[in-house]
Structure 1
Amino acid sequence: MTSEQALTVETLLRSPALQLSVIAGESGLDRSVSWAHVSELADPTPWLLGAEMIMTTGLAIPRNGADQRAYLERLDDAGVSALALSEELHVPPLRREFLRAADSRGIPVLRVPLPVPFIAIAQEVAAALQPGVGQRLGAQLQVFGSLRWLTEENLDVAEIFARLERLSGYRLFVCSQQGRPLLPGVRTPDARLLGLLPASPAAPPTVPGGFVLPIQAPGGVAGYLFAQARHGAAPGGLAVVQHVATVASLQLTMRRHERETLRREGAETLAELLGGVLEPPVARRRLSRLGLPLRGMLTLAVLRGRAGDADDASLLRRLDEADLAHLVLRQQDELFVLVPAGLAAQRAFDAVADAFVGSSAPLRTGDSLEIPRREARWAVARARDAGKTHLTYGENDSAGRWLPEDVQALDALVERVLGKAIAYDEGHSADLLTTVRTWMERDRHAESTAAALGIHQNTLAYRLRRFGEITGRDLARTSEFSEVWMALLAQRSIGSPG
């Protein structure tokens, strides 16, 4: 049935056998009718699909004006095309608020003469809609046949959904449970539709103008499919939209499987890159196959959990949503991530929860990761000390840029300047090194340092003096103070104990 042949409220009004008349809401007579259904419930909307004519003897209609208006507004919000009231049975007096709501919203309220049974109206509607039954069944079969496209044709997700829109008669939108993109190339709902996101996957599927259905994935509901009837099209109904949701679920599952396979390969490649066992040409070929750009810059990041291991789920989800190729590898309490450098990666790192993130300076595809790893570790240590979620190498730390890149030289600096203090702390369960570092980072301010460490200022003075005695460095002398500070920076850079 085309939109020109669609059954409307006005069509039923013109039927001499039904003898219907308009009580209110005459401006909505052009509303289409998909079915006629009897309901005596105060709220039948959870069981409606939209465009129904609701017929009632009036048992569920409230008696006061405000409740009558609320009853009618619920039906209109659910997409009901008209309300038909049986004359001379249980309909209470219709209040002014009810009639005004019908006129302002344009939802027709009809009078059904007592001699006309509701079954006669239902039969009239069914007969008028009979030509559209075949069209709906055909749409269902065609959409169901889209499963063949997934195996026989090399279509991307956007093209699959473009075809589904043409077949189903709906504009299709997909989003996560939080309203974020879920499938690449598929539109996300606008603010109006996002306001209709159900509180539970078990909520009724009907929304104004169409349907919203959960998209299942391994582990539970991954998001929602919105189907909004297209102007001038013949929407295929709920069964068609359910088939579309199945296609969306399969696409999501396939993409997740592909992504997990690439992540496993990526973890192996990143381990070899961090181990320095891949030649640059081999590294570039591997990274290109895993989706990282041959041209352009990369960045290496390190995540350390605020309490225990870093939870990578939040970061990986944001990288997926940003459609950023990435390599991930966990090594003990650190999570390494290699991604294209840029604003998208920075935003993903900034939004990480329950972890500190440090990212290296940009590097070229195929470059050694020895220095970027050191830079990222330096940055994550600085992020932890500053209480920030994410820092980039060199940010808030201009002095560290001038340290040598030779790890052995840094090790030697740490051992020569701080070695005795490290050994003392380990042997006596002391905190001399932490105390000195905190004092220096707070610009030698005794009161704030003592507060940060939870100690008395006299204890702070004792620890600083004891550090000087053990290391032979007088922190009151500029040259020796500077040497200790650079050794502390070197220690953080290479991740040595202390």
Structure 2
Amino acid sequence: MPPTLGALLRTPHLRLSLLAGQENQDRRVEWVAVSELEDPTPYLEGGELLLTTGVRWAGGVPDLRDYTRRLAERGITALGFAVGVVLEETPEQLRGAADEYGLALVEVGRETPFIAVGKEVSRLLAKEEYEGLSRAFAAQRGLTRAALTGAPAIVDLLARDLGAWVLLLSADGSVRHAAPASAAGRATGLGPELDRLRDAGMRASVSLTSVGEQVSAQPLATGRQVRGFLVVGTGGVLGPDERTLVNAAVSLLSLELERTAHSRTARVHEGVLAALLTGALDPLHPGAERLRETLPAPPVVVAAAGGAGPAHPPEGVLVTEIGGNALLLAGSEIGEDVLREVLEGPVGVSEPAAYGDLAPALSQAERALEAAAARGPGERIVRAGDLPGGLLGLADSPAGARMAGDLLAPLLRERAAAELLSSLRAYLAASGRWDAAAEALGVHRHTLRYRMNRIRELLPGDLDDPDHRAELWIALRLRGVPGR
């Protein structure tokens, strides 16, 4: 619960009484200050619960209207007066002035020390921060799950959690996805700001105010190449929890765009089949009539397998050997029995594709082959459509492995790398709670504290930085680090 004035008044052991300002109970108490100065306002920021004993009024109560007016204008949340220290009752003048200037006035009983009030406010502030951090981690896990279905799902969930409109833009500034869809028109006029971001680098961001809205834009990149932009529009300035969520979405979307770009890239191979797969040879060209006679009708699939292909494949099936792997092109209706007959060992099969989309199909087949090789002998054929998409699909790609490895490299070089990685994962999964993380690992909390101190020494970033935590969590997920 937030540390409001009402929350303090409802705390039984403080025994506080509200004498004026009933309407102010929902105001936040940012801190507790104690002052006996005639004018403490130069030392206040606003939002405080100011406590005083009235010691300067021992010889007689002066006119308190100016004193109360200055406190109200400074924006303090409430004034707390301790009775039974100097004066046995709260001065009537103070009550009247508080009513006049709309200042909440609280009476603090003789049995309540000021430090007890300060400790309760500190406790409530710490509880609020912990609850906010827990909400942020839960929202980040939701974004990670959404990444399984691709970038649009991340954008939709981010817009819902923030109560904002969100745009995913391509590198040229065009709209890839908008949440809600009606927000697509807000991309108009962002061109100059996007140019500034391209020049500033991948860690830059830009914020601007437009028609009562707060708009922020950040580049999406995993290296020096910007692959897109994330734009968020809200009704006000984002708080720490919301900024953490946006930064997590930036990391996830950057990885997703990198994965998508990688899946569209094909190596240049030799031979006719390689030319077909890379688009160097167009079977639909008017001069390719004889070639079309030997090709299966679209849609087609690409299959990849370890080892060599057959010397005499079935009719309508093209096979070649490149880099020690066999590549096959066939009609999408090809059955698994034919694939087993033609190809040996684990096999990866793409989704059906047109001849203009053979390069992405080849990437799908190669990724499916990697998954098939990692599985048991009973699952020799893996189809790309059965694999997870989105961010977690990066676990099988060079881009994801490289980025996760770079981030975790200081830990991976240690002799106790497995213990450090599992401890870091448990610590992040428990939102930094020592007891819960230690219990999940099955170790004593002092053992975990020793490991986390070592991790803090090794990692270049600040483990208390929510952005760094989010990047570490994603890297651990990509590397498949277990919780133990």
Greater Rg, structure 1 or structure 2?
1
TM value normalised by structure 2: 0.30
